[in-house]
Structure 1
Amino acid sequence: MLKSSLNKGLIEAGCDEAGRGCLAGSVYAAAVILPEDYRNDDLNDSKQLTPHRRYELRKIIERDAVAWAVGVVTHEEIDKINILNASILAMHRALDGLKVRPEAIIVDGNRFKPYNFIPYTTVVKGDGKFMSIAAASILAKTYRDDYMDRLAEEYPQYDWISNKGYPTKKHRQAIAEHGITPYHRKTFRLL
């Protein structure tokens, strides 16, 4: 069972991103504020869930959350500011979209930049420790998957429907055979 919060008594937003290690596409992040003492035994790191279960939980998260939002940073922006800065910017954009202002932020990982003078804590493997971060990981992952599925219709040869832009053997072979698409991150090692 994941913990409901790190900062008891404060409105706390959990943040996570998806798509950081991909060769193509935007990076997505989500911010989620859950009700105090919220319980959902099914919430977990999105990587530990089946795609079907992630989408089921997305509906539950969107229904139950006090507030939630998704932020996006494009592949062009990633190439300009690098993936670490892009991941943090995507989280900031998600936080910008919240209808409720958090009093504390917890972030999956070990890197973040100050946001609007709100105290934050980074938590390594936080998506497996705190419900709001797990919820954010599920939203970021499912919204990014939807985006990559749309791109896969345009570029089926890269197998994005399966690999979502990650550097699989099939994806790298398609780059070698067909070159890059307008969605590839040009500052990444693509082959």
Structure 2
Amino acid sequence: MTTLAEYKQLLQADSVPQALLDELAADARAGAQKLLGAYNRKLMHRRQQEMMLEEHRKLERSLWPAYPIIAGIDEVGRGPLAGPVITAAVILDENFDVPVNDSKQLTAHRRDALFADIITNARAVAIGVRDNTEIDRYNIYHATELAMADAVHNLRLQPDYLLVDAMHVPVDIPQSKLIKGDARSISIGAASIVAKVVRDRLMEMYDQVYPGYGFAQNAGYGTKAHLEGLAKLGVTPIHRRSFAPVQDALAKK
């Protein structure tokens, strides 16, 4: 009789024969049924990931014949009280098979893993940055547009089409503005992950430079800890002075 350890080893293979699964299903041992249940759950998860990947690639597949170099564009950091707005532009090809999703739906650990996969396997990746002084000068919406244009210009490949999450990029390239694009397009989803990881790591660095505001935890958003830091320590050089809570802190000073 096949031991449970042997079954466990055989189930690690990329392709498991149906005969082995039938044998396992007929095995009355509780441990055998537990192994079969775990394998079926793993198989279901894999199929769900494949379906999600194909769904997220659908838009790109419809455009690739006419536009072979498509860049997905997304931003992170429009809402915080401190730090820059970061944008990312990512160009993928038809062989990219990493299932990405809206960065906000992922754990930090999963984002880091996907970030490495994207950087390694994408055709091109670039970022754009507009800091708090430019946000105050232009307003956050226009600063984000400029940062998106920067990301496009920084790509090593010139895209012939842009898929953009809910904004228009001020460049002379055909583009589609997609509401909730990071959940509808694999390119935008990849860009959202890159922008999020880059900005989070930057804010972790700023937490070391300006302790007391919780930047490593809140990424500059107006959390209780951040507002308490503003009240106690005042405004730092990376705060957005055009945002109301920062204006209030300056007025009280």
Amino acid at match of 2:80: C
Q: C-alpha distance in 2, partners of 1:103/1:39?
A: 22
Which residue does 1:144 correspond to in 2? 199
Matching of residue 55 in structure 1 with residue 108 in structure 2:
no
Return the offset for 1:148: 0.5
Q: Which structure 1 residue ranges, 4+ long, deviate > 6 Å from structure 2?
A: none
Which residue does 1:64 correspond to in 2? 121
Contact 1:114 1:120 in 2 (8 A): no
Q: C-alpha distance in 2, partners of 1:170/1:31?
A: 32
Which residue does 1:112 correspond to in 2? 168
SS where residue 56 of structure 2 aligns?
Answer: coil
Matching of residue 183 in structure 1 with residue 241 in structure 2:
no
> How many residues matched?
188
Which residue does 1:39 correspond to in 2? 97
Matching of residue 16 in structure 1 with residue 74 in structure 2:
yes
Q: C-alpha distance in 2, partners of 1:123/1:66?
A: 22
User: Unaligned stretches of 5+ in structure 2?
Assistant: 1-51, 249-253
Which residue does 1:157 correspond to in 2? 212
Q: 2:181 aligns with which of 118, 122, 126?
A: 126
Return the offset for 1:172: 1.0
Which residue does 2:160 correspond to in 1? 103
Which residue does 1:166 correspond to in 2? 221
SS where residue 105 of structure 1 aligns?
Answer: strand
Which residue does 1:77 correspond to in 2? 134
Matching of residue 86 in structure 1 with residue 132 in structure 2:
no
SS where residue 176 of structure 1 aligns?
Answer: helix
Structure with the greater relative contact order (CA < 8 A, sep ≥ 6): 1 or 2? 1
Percent identity, aligned pairs only, is 44
Return the offset for 1:36: 2.5
1:119-176 Cα distance to aligned partner (Å, 9 max, x none): 0111011001111101000010111111101110011200011000011111111111
Larger radius of gyration: 2
Contact 1:25 1:148 in 2 (8 A): yes
User: Unaligned stretches of 5+ in structure 1?
Assistant: none
Return the offset for 1:40: 2.0
SS where residue 156 of structure 1 aligns?
Answer: coil
TM-score (ref. length: structure 2): 0.72
Return the offset for 1:37: 5.3
Which residue does 1:27 correspond to in 2? 85
As a proportion of its length, which structure holds more helix? 2
Contact 1:23 1:184 in 2 (8 A): yes
Which residue does 2:23 correspond to in 1? none
Q: CA RMSD in A?
A: 1.2
Q: C-alpha distance in 2, partners of 1:72/1:31?
A: 12
